Amino acid sequence: DGGITQSPKYLFRKEGQNVTLSCEQNLNHDAMYWYRQDPGQGLRLIYYSQIVNDFQKGDIAEGYSVSREKKESFPLTVTSAQKNPTAFYLCASSISNRPQETQYFGPGTRLLVL
Amino acid sequence: GENVEQHPSTLSVQEGDSAVIKCTYSDSASNYFPWYKQELGKRPQLIIDIRSNVGEKKDQRIAVTLNKTAKHFSLHITETQPEDSAVYFCAAIPFDNYGQNFVFGPGTRLSVLP
């Protein structure tokens, strides 16, 4: 299960607060992704990055922001604009942005709103 | 864009029986179809995948079949065991010049009853 890690495991957010979820990988993967998982729903893509200093919006990017300053790191910030942030957040990486590359997932961060 | 449907949403089988989960997709350009298994509280992990140039792939007790004409693919688990109990997600990847965007199905919760 090693290679891609997320922290913290649980995160609590107060109303109006921005919080940042960490995702780190030591697999030398170029591509990284953030997904949101809600009960009874599949994984929905928030943002993805094909290479350092580049990232693209996914299907549900509103209220989120990312950065990719280093190859191994792809932090996700949940801003106060995200009105329903309670969910399980999964980070993933793949060798490259070529189609059909396997994605490897981190252990996830569960975000709860106080 | 691509839309992936998955059925059933829940499935209970007796240990030793077979389980079948079916996914349909909408974009005929999709050409890669992975299946992920997510045990309770853990990260999704790839268990098998199929590419559009083959109709069936098997790995021990797990098999996946693809019908490109009908735009559906299925996961087959034979001789089910309690450790097969998990949520299973299918995904499809539409052709995309700018990198891959998995589109996941909503998941199937499989319970194997001893």
User: In chain B, which residues have their Cβ closer than 8 Å to the Cβ of A32?
Assistant: none
End-to-end CA distance of chain A: 31
Strands B103-104 and B45-51 turn out to be unpaired
Strand partners, B11: B110
Q: Do A105 and B93 touch (CB under 8 A)?
A: no
pLDDT attached to residue B31:
87
CB within 8 Å of B70: residues ≥ 6 apart: B24
CB atoms within 10 A of CB B27: 16
Q: What is the pLDDT of residues A7-19, one digit of tens each?
A: 999 999 888 899 9
HEC states along B38-88?
A: ECCCCCCEEEEEEECCCCEEEECCEEEEEECCCCEEEEEECCCCHHHCEEE
pLDDT attached to residue A91:
96
- Our measurement of the distance from residue A72's CA atom to the centroid of its chain's CA atoms, rounded to an integer in Å, reads 13
Q: Do A42 and B100 touch (CB under 8 A)?
A: no
CB pairs A-B closer than 8 Å: 65
End-to-end CA distance of chain B: 41
Q: Do A1 and B43 touch (CB under 8 A)?
A: yes
pLDDT band at A1 (very low <50, low <70, confident <90, very high): very low
Q: Is A102 helix (H, G, I), strand (E, B) or coil?
A: coil
* H or E stretch covering A34: strand A31-37
pLDDT attached to residue A99:
64
CB within 8 Å of A84: residues ≥ 6 apart: none
Q: What is the pLDDT of residues A28-66, one digit of tens each?
A: 999 999 999 998 778 999 999 999 999 999 989 999 999
The one-digit pLDDT tens for each residue of chain B (114 residues) are 788 999 999 999 999 999 999 999 998 888 889 999 999 888 899 999 998 888 999 999 999 999 999 999 999 999 999 999 999 999 998 755 455 578 899 999 999 999
Q: What percent of chain A has pLDDT over 70?
A: 96
CB within 8 Å of B53: residues ≥ 6 apart: none
pLDDT attached to residue B2:
82
